[in-house]
Amino acid sequence: MRTSVALIIIIIIFNNLTTAQVIVTNNIFKNRQFVGVQSNPYYTKHKSTCQIITLRYGIEAYKNIYVGPEVSGFFYKDKEGNTGSEINAGLYAKFIFLNSMKIKVLLEPGINYKYGKYQIYHYENPDISRKKLDWYGSAGIMVNLYREKISLDLMVKYSHDNLFLRSRRVVPTYKLNFHF
């Protein structure tokens, strides 16, 4: 009798463990993922072209909520010889609304750590270096381009940083995402 009870308990525990593992595995691999490339072309105060490039990865943490890391950077040199470069690494969250529509509404907050070096010759001390924790917020739309495998995000980005894009607080941005 004891052997039968022990055998039944082992079967129940083994069955629960394997069922739980299948559920966890299904949840992990059902999550949608994407890799994205973001670009912010703009002109600095001195009319020099500067291109900010961002690489990002996202995974669906919950229905219509994506989270992930991002790395961005830029380099510029203007006609007067001023130069600057910046590297940012951070985390973001992407909230998608109206998911059943072809055009979706997006809201995206993010935090990042900035490291920048600048040489601005009309300042008294031309060599500037800064390291700081920063944040931003974006809102916009997402358009599916190809069978929900490729999407384009058209957004407006807000940052409180004074050196952000020619001292503007709000700038347009676009992101191309590849979903898998």
Per the listing, tokens 């055009």 go with 103
119-140 pLDDT tens trace: 877 777 777 788 889 898 999 9
The reported pLDDT for the residue numbered 48 is: 53
110 and 79 in contact (C-beta within 8 Å)? Answer: no
How large a percentage of the chain has pLDDT more than 90?
Answer: 22
Give CA 75 to chain center in angstroms.
20
Q: Structure tokens of 76?
A: 């510029």
93 and 79 in contact (C-beta within 8 Å)? Answer: no
**Residue 39 neighbours by CB under 8 Å, 6+ apart:** 51, 52, 53, 54, 173, 174, 175
* Burial class, 16, CB count within 10 angstroms (exposed 0-12 / middle 13-18 / buried 19+): exposed
Least confident of 103-107, 120-124, 149-153: 120-124
The reported pLDDT for the residue numbered 122 is: 73
pLDDT band at 12 (very low <50, low <70, confident <90, very high): confident
37-66 pLDDT tens trace: 888 766 555 555 677 888 999 999 988 899
The reported pLDDT for the residue numbered 8 is: 77
The mean pLDDT of the chain is 79
According to DSSP, the β-strands at 127-146 and 150-158 are: antiparallel
- Domain 32-179 architecture: Beta Barrel (2.40)
User: Which residue intervals of the chain are DSSP H helices?
Assistant: 2-30
How large a percentage of the chain has pLDDT more than 70?
Answer: 78
The reported pLDDT for the residue numbered 27 is: 47
The reported pLDDT for the residue numbered 117 is: 86
